[in-house]
Chain A
Amino acid sequence: MASNETLFRQIYRIRRFEETVLENFPKGVFFGTTHTYIGQEANAVGVLANCQANDIVFSNHRCHGHFLAYGGSAAALFAEMMGRSTGVCGGRGGSQHLQWRNFYSNGVQGGILPIAAGMALAEKFKNTQAITYVFLGDGTLGEGTLYETLNLAALWQAPVLFVLEDNRIAQTTPTQLGIAGSMPARFEAFGIPTREIDSSSVLDILPLAEELSALVRDNRTPGALILHTERFGPHSKGDDTRSPELVNQLRQERDPLAILAKQLPELVCSQIKTEVDYEIADSLKQALSSPFPIL
């Protein structure tokens, strides 16, 4: 298992990256929009701590945290968002369309799910031990293609782990206005082993993810992990309809960084922060000095 220092570094790296994105957006350096992961970092770090070299990760519109936890370059992600030729996809995809090694993301809700199941199935047919992680949010529970995918993944026994990050709000729609019935029952109805946790501590999430990854890998069958979480930032930028008091309270109670910091000496935390601050600042500078692509 990764050390607490490593986990702290990964969580802080995502945090600092996303904060830097929000700080620099008003300067006009990025194209389009962005969906930040602040508050949810322990999910990506905890789940992908179990990711092996040949495993596949498919992410969604809120993909920066997953990409960085997978091992992606902060400089390449900044550059991608700035539309530069050194970006993850040479500036063609932008914030939510990334592909690097076995990492993929796409910004349309639901459609990535059968694709991830198909990737998992392909690896099974090729007799590799790879599993596929696919991240979805609570909002995606509204998409019909999810239920087609759960059925197919269960029928065809695809080694895919569905990671549902329930941040309790889909853009501005709270889950109680968007989701009827039970979240785990949606997966269990298809006979997919499902675990659920409501925590922002990576030390809670990681072992559960480990258990499910092992089940998917060993049995070559699907699994589901439901992570109830909190997002501290807006859906994209400046579109948070929640009260500042509520968001502030969530930051006090559910900050994955503060929760993990309690397990580490202060000096270690501040040392890691200094190093990561430098990496992120330097990555931003590198991206800013990269050329724009030509068609």
Chain B
Amino acid sequence: MTSVLESLNTALHQAFASDPSVYLLGEDVLDPYGGAFKLTRGLSGQYPGRVLTSPISEAGITGVAAGMALRGLRPVVEIMFGDFVTLAADQLINHIAKFRWMYNDQVRVPLLLRTPMGGRRGYGPTHSQTLEKLFLGIPGLQVLAPCAFSAAGFDAGTLLRETILHSENPTIFIENKLLYLLPVTSDSPDFEIKLLTTPAQTPGYQLNLRGAPAARLTMTAYGYMAELARQAALRLAYEYEIFCEIIIPTQIAPFEISNILSSVQKTGKLLCLEEGTLSLGWGAEITAQAAEKLGPQLKCARRIAALDLPVPASGPLETAVLPSVDQILTTVLEMEKF
């Protein structure tokens, strides 16, 4: 069984093998260490001139990668912890995101910045955050998030490889840390996993319980939250006979809501799940768009997210702050009243 980590690592190897203009810059990325989360393992051994291990200079390496991208290379930047992406914010927002449009479409910036986000490992307030919402809604920046599901041969690694090799636009690639050890799931005894494609976005997934009656609620989630959605949907079905459809986008920004709308048009109810803090987040945007576009067809909408607090180090506190399967169950049961 392939883990998400193996899938992503293989994707990096494939990208390096198929295009000599692919480079990787990051801290502690050389073998035998191969990166703090082992994503780059084996790369520097095989492509020594194209893997640049860097000093602790997130803004510097992101800027260097931007320059490389402007001059026709396809650099990948690894930021060791997603929390540190704030150090590269000026590069991402005032430079990388701007160049193509500000320069009247005369340049391209095919750069991919990968970074692990998320908690549940006790790393505490500055190594556990889910910060991608800071980069959502920045024109010119694409934000992608893989999950552990696979359909029609498209999985986390495919998303990474294809984006590195073919995207013309800068991308932030958010890898939730708990995804790494999950198996890539294409074949589930419980769920039918369908690939959702639209021209405007990278493919997503739709999960339906096998042989279940029509779903009465739509859950949408990305990254590791999609796994919690899966677990919750299973319990809701077996313990409460409530059937849900799960819509899992991999493209978080720019966001195309059509797949979610089609699902909610059938179910009438929408639950958005995210690991970032609740206020002013991804779920708020999805809910607002659904309300604007569906009107009274949307009978009930709820968001589940982290509390508006830093992520604590203490296990019980961290569990209390981050969204859980139990919380999904409680919320869905409340939504039954509508």
- CB-CB under 8 A from B91, the residues of chain A are 111, 114-115
- A90-B104, A92-B102, A151-B55 are contacts. A114–B90 as well, Cβ < 8 Å? no
Q: CA–CA, A144 to B55, complex, Å? A: 14
Interface centre among B23, B60, B68, by most A CB within 10 Å? B60
Q: Find out whether the CB atom of B63 lies under 8 angstroms from the CB atom of A111.
A: yes
Interface range for B: 20 to 34
Q: Find out whether the CB atom of B95 lies under 8 angstroms from the CB atom of A111.
A: yes
- CB-CB under 8 A from A123, the residues of chain B are 71
Q: Indicate if A113 sits at the interface (CB-CB under 8 A).
A: yes
Q: Is the interface of B mostly helix, strand, loop or mixed?
A: helix
Q: CA–CA, A86 to B186, complex, Å? A: 52
Q: Find out whether the CB atom of A114 lies under 8 angstroms from the CB atom of B68.
A: no
Please encode chain A, from 192 to 223, with 1 for each CB lying within 8 Å of some chain B CB and 0 for all others: 00000000000000000000000000000000
Chain A, 118-166, CB within 8 A of any chain B CB: 118-123, 125-126, 144-145, 148-149, 151-152, 155-156
- CB-CB under 8 A from B103, the residues of chain A are 89, 92-93, 97, 99, 104
Q: CA–CA, A122 to B20, complex, Å? A: 12
Chain A, 235-262, CB within 8 A of any chain B CB: none
Q: Find out whether the CB atom of B102 lies under 8 angstroms from the CB atom of A97.
A: yes
Interface range for A: 35 or more
Q: Find out whether the CB atom of A152 lies under 8 angstroms from the CB atom of B62.
A: no
Partner of B64, one of A92, A99, A110, A118: A118
Partner of B67, one of A97, A119, A126: A119
Q: Indicate if B61 sits at the interface (CB-CB under 8 A).
A: yes
Partner of B68, one of A99, A100, A121: A121
Q: Indicate if A185 sits at the interface (CB-CB under 8 A).
A: no
Shortest Cβ gap from B73 to chain A (Å): 5
Q: Indicate if A38 sits at the interface (CB-CB under 8 A).
A: no
Q: Indicate if A108 sits at the interface (CB-CB under 8 A).
A: yes
Q: Find out whether the CB atom of A119 lies under 8 angstroms from the CB atom of B63.
A: no
- CB-CB under 8 A from A97, the residues of chain B are 98, 102-103
Q: Indicate if B47 sits at the interface (CB-CB under 8 A).
A: no
Interface centre among B52, B63, B72, B94, by most A CB within 10 Å? B63
Please encode chain B, from 181 to 206, with 1 for each CB lying within 8 Å of some chain A CB and 0 for all others: 00000000000000000000000000
Shortest Cβ gap from A222 to chain B (Å): 12
Partner of B66, one of A92, A118, A125, A126: A118
Q: CA–CA, A119 to B107, complex, Å? A: 13
Partner of A115, one of B23, B55, B73, B95: B95
Q: Find out whether the CB atom of A114 lies under 8 angstroms from the CB atom of B104.
A: no
The 5 A-B residue pairs with the shortest CB-CB distance, nearest first, are A118-B67, A114-B63, A148-B60, A118-B64, A99-B103
